[in-house]
Structure 1
Amino acid sequence: MKILHITILSFIFIFSANCQENKNSFNYVIKTNIKKYNLESNQAFENNDSEKGQILFDSLVSNHLIGTDFEDYTIKSFDKKKIKLSSFNKPIFILTYASWCIPSKGEIPALNKLAQKYANDVQFVILFWDKKHTVKKIARKFNHNITVCYANESYKNDASIVANLKHTLGFPTSYFLDEKLKVINIKRGGAQPDNKSSYVKAYTMNYNNFREGLGSLLIEKNISKEQLSTN
């Protein structure tokens, strides 16, 4: 009887520990800090102070979000249906979009080129905040090295990812995760070539902007390889 009693207590302890929210999770940290960030960034927006708004975002990312554990979301792709992020088994670059948010000139070709170049090192994921039929046409513009996905408030299983990503940091937002889904970096927005920019200039601006973000993932991957080789 004593053995049974100890077993039950052990089960209750383990169950309770597992139920506690991971305080290093991205979801927990963003919920803890987003209210203060929104108040300050909204004030900066009202004052037309875009520079301060960017500083606030960078501060939120560098001081709180880098190093957190990203949720192992199950995402819906056009060709492979449901995929867990952890199943990629390599660093992931997630870029959130919406069909009504028109990419800048040269943006998609730049992404396609980078995805082709770094396909072996990084998994590229484009996540649209739309229903499947809405983004079907634009999805064809991305090459086969990019996993195009969708999520929407109207789909009950998308509530968590919509709440924790779309309704916090907005879009377009780039998330850079290592193979263990640790947040390496987060960037908002992208290159903004003006309407008068040539295609070559716009393409180059977008390419360099995304390549800069990917640099943190590639560096992290090389460090991991070096650590494995020395152990």
Structure 2
Amino acid sequence: MFTILLFASTFLAYSQDNKVYFNDALSQHLKPYVKKSNLAFENKDYELAEILFDSLLANHLLNTFIPNLKLPKVSGGNLETDDIKNPFLLITKTTWDFPVEKEIEAINTIAEAYRDQVEIIVLYWGTKKNVKKITGNYNRYVTITYIDETENLSNSIIKTYKHSFGAPACFFVSSTKQLMALDKKFSLFSFDMDQTKQAYAYTENHIKELIFLFEEFKKSLLTDRQ
């Protein structure tokens, strides 16, 4: 019995230590990707640039584990991602992004429709004061967080989630805290489209594509909204 317990504990410890974390994978593979990507952009080979990103994502980042993120909430207190039981969508934005009401409305619709099944978190890069000014129209189903880059408390988060991919970007994380999708050009709205119904539909469909990208969510997610 002792031998069995020893083997089991050793196996569990090895399994936990063997986890590949997003930050570590990024540190290992980002530099060569950036070098090749910059060269592709210099040569105006935008197709190659996209291929390079897709390769980085598919071969090194997908299914890696997201370490706990401690994010200050605009409403007060902190959000810790390890405490979230459901899959979550982390949308990163900047305070100088022009706030589009139809985009916010579409995010609100998704957050309410899939409440208690998928958490929607919007992370703004900026001061609490500036974030508060532009986020008043999000509903209670969307968690608004912020990182003040003038403070030095969250350097690792800034480096990993902003400096590596810019903003806006979107990270879809499973309930096991594994990265399932990453959209580094998460443009929810375009000014050349109709700024009412079309903008709303585009945003809503874009988020749904991410959520329903995987079979497990297609089968398990239910909503009382059409």
Q: TM-score per shorter chain, which class?
A: 0.7 to 0.9
Q: 2: distance between equivalents of 1:94 and 1:102?
A: 19
- Which structure has the larger Rg? 1
Question: Map of 1:93-132 to 2, 5 A cutoff?
Answer: 93-103=89-99, 106-132=102-128
Q: Distance in 2 between matches of 1:80 and 1:207?
A: 28
Please, which runs of 5 or more residues in structure 2 have no aligned partner? 1-9, 222-226
Q: What displacement does 1:164 show?
A: 1.2
Match of 1:158 among 151, 154, 171: 154
- Separation in structure 2 between the aligned mates of residue 106 and residue 41 of structure 1, nearest angstrom: 33
| CA contact 2:37–2:49 (8 Å) conserved in 1 | yes
**Aligned CA-pair RMSD:** 2.6
Q: How many residues are paired up?
A: 208
Q: Which residues in structure 2 correspond to 1:61-210 (within 5 Å)?
A: 61-103=57-99, 106-189=102-185, 190-210=187-207
TM-score by length of 2: 0.82
Tell me, yes or no, if the aligned pair for 1:91 and 1:221 is still in contact at 8 Å: no
Q: Is the 8 A contact 2:63 2:180 kept in 1?
A: yes
Q: 1:196 to 1:183 in 2, by over 3 A?
A: closer
Structure 1 residue 214 corresponds to structure 2 residue 211: yes
Distance 2:195 2:147 in 1: 34
Q: In 2, are the aligned partners of 1:22 and 1:28 still within 8 Å (CA)?
A: no
Structure 1 pair 163–126 and aligned structure 2 pair: CA distance change class (3 A): same
Conserved in 1, the CA contact under 8 Å of 2:212 and 2:218? no
Taking the aligned partners of 2:195 and 2:98, their CA distance within structure 1 comes to: 17
Equivalent position SS for 1:106: helix
Q: What SS does structure 2 have at the residue aligned with 1:62?
A: helix
- In structure 2, the CA distance between the partners of 1:45 and 1:101, relative to structure 1 (3 Å rule), is farther
Percent identity (aligned): 29
Q: What letter matches 1:55 in structure 2? A: I
CA distance in structure 1 between the partners assigned to 2:193 and 2:203 by the alignment:
15
Do the aligned residues in 2 keep the contact of 1:193 with 1:205 (CA within 8 Å)?
A: no
Q: TM-score, normalised by structure 1?
A: 0.80
- The 1-side partners of 2:151 and 2:171 are apart by 22
The reply on whether 1:38 has 2:34 as its aligned counterpart is yes
Greater helix share, structure number: 1
The runs of 5 or more residues in structure 1 that have no matched partner are: 1-13, 226-231
Q: Which moved more, 1:151-160 or 1:171-180?
A: 151-160
1:110 CA drift (Å): 1.2
